[in-house]
């Protein structure tokens, strides 16, 4: 597949060589708005879904609002949002709910992550997010130069247990927080408790029933399979 020059320029700017791009069937969408990209706000389907969109604020591994996040919203391609809404409805019948940390991620946000990862002097978030890793090791398994989130079909989330009337929801103990760069965040990590592992599997089972696949290195990370647009990246701002 031929890539538009704009796509090549963007991907090269975030660390890909043109030689690498030749092997990657990726194109940057020309869409300028969420509507043009078929991205919808999950709250149009589940108005009261729990959200804590970390990259729109300071509570994240970069330590500052991330480029492209102009509002704390969860945008997803419509088929993905519809599948996630089905997961939420099934969980609510069991007094459980999802809590969302991130959804669609603009390509410019990924470029921000890569710039941050190359700035080895900035260690402000090390204690919370990568206490056992040298920052120089984050690029690759933990911070990808091109993220599946930018294709609009990937979600970062956790589970909450709620009272019978749907109030007083509390997060389940998963063993680590979101964006904890360590082997303990692997879904089947051996050094978490049996209860924490069971909670991770509870989330995985619920997501799998609607076609979401877990990324084994991050218990919170799920992608709808097959993806609606597997070869298209989007750079529409979240607003």
Percent of the chain predicted with pLDDT > 90: 85
pLDDT at 13 over 90: no
**If you count them, how many residues does the chain have?**
239
Establish whether 218 is a catalytic residue.
Answer: yes
pLDDT at 14 over 90: no
Cα–Cα distance, 200 to 175 (Å, whole number)? 9
For residue 24, what pLDDT is reported? 56
For residue 144, what pLDDT is reported? 87
For residue 5, what pLDDT is reported? 35
pLDDT digit string (tens) for 36-57? 999 999 999 999 999 999 999 9
Query: Which is more confidently placed, 1 or 100?
Result: 100
Q: What is the mean pLDDT of the chain?
A: 91
For residue 191, what pLDDT is reported? 94
14-23, 90-99, 107-116, 162-171: the lowest-pLDDT one: 14-23
pLDDT digit string (tens) for 50-84? 999 999 999 999 999 999 999 999 999 999 999 99
For residue 37, what pLDDT is reported? 98
Percent of the chain predicted with pLDDT > 70: 90
* 3-state DSSP of the chain: CCCCHHHHHHHHHCCCCHHHHCCCCCEECCCCCCCCCCEEEHHHCCCCCEECCHHHCCCCCCCCCCCCECCCCCEEEHHHHHHHHHHHHHHHCCCEEEEEEECCCCHHHHHHHHHHHHCCCCCCCHHHHCCCCCHHHCECCCECCCCHHHHCCEEEEEEEECCCCCCCCEECCCCCCCCCCCHHHCCCCCCCCHHHHHHHHHHHHHHHCCCEEECCCCCCEEEECCCCCCCEECCCCEC
pTM of this structure: 0.89
pLDDT at 3 over 70: no
Region class of 63: left (phi > 0), else alpha (psi between -120 and 50), else beta: left
For residue 19, what pLDDT is reported? 34
For residue 15, what pLDDT is reported? 36
pLDDT at 9 over 60: no
> What is the CATH class of 39-227?
alpha beta
In this prediction, residues 206-223 reach a mean pLDDT of: 97
Task: Evaluate whether 151 touches 229 at the Cβ level (below 8 Å).
Answer: yes
For residue 85, what pLDDT is reported? 98
Task: Evaluate whether 95 touches 161 at the Cβ level (below 8 Å).
Answer: yes
Q: Show the CA angle centred on residue 174, arms to residues 150 and 181, nearest 5°.
A: 50
Q: Which of 51, 210, 218, 227 is catalytic?
A: 218
pLDDT at 211 over 90: yes
Residue 31's pLDDT band, with cuts at 50, 70 and 90, is very high
pLDDT at 16 over 70: no
């Amino acid at each position: 597949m031929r890539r538009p020059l704009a796509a090549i320029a963007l991907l090269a700017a975030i660390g890909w060589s043109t030689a690498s791009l030749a092997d990657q069937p990726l194109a940057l969408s020309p869409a300028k708005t969420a509507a043009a990209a078929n991205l919808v706000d999950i709250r149009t389907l589940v108005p009261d879904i729990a959200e804590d969109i970390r990259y729109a604020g300071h509570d994240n591994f970069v330590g500052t609002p991330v480029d492209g996040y102009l509002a704390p919203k969860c945008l997803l391609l419509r088929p993905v949002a519809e599948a996630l809404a089905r997961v939420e409805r099934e969980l609510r019948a069991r007094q459980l709910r999802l809590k969302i940390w991130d959804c669609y991620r603009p390509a410019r946000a990924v470029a921000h992550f890569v710039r941050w990862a190359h700035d080895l002097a900035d260690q402000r978030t090390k204690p919370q997010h990568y206490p056992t890793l040298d920052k120089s090791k984050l690029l690759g398994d933990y911070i990808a130069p091109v993220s599946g989130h930018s294709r609009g079909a990937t979600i970062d989330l956790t589970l909450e247990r709620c009272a019978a009337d749907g109030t007083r929801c509390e997060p389940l103990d998963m063993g680590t927080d979101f964006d904890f760069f360590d082997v303990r965040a692997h879904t089947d990590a051996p050094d978490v408790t049996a209860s924490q592992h069971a909670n991770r599997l509870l989330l995985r089972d619920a997501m799998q029933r609607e076609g979401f696949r877990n990324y084994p290195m991050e218990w919170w990370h799920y992608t709808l399979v097959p993806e609606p647009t597997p070869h298209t990246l989007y750079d529409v701002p979240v607003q």
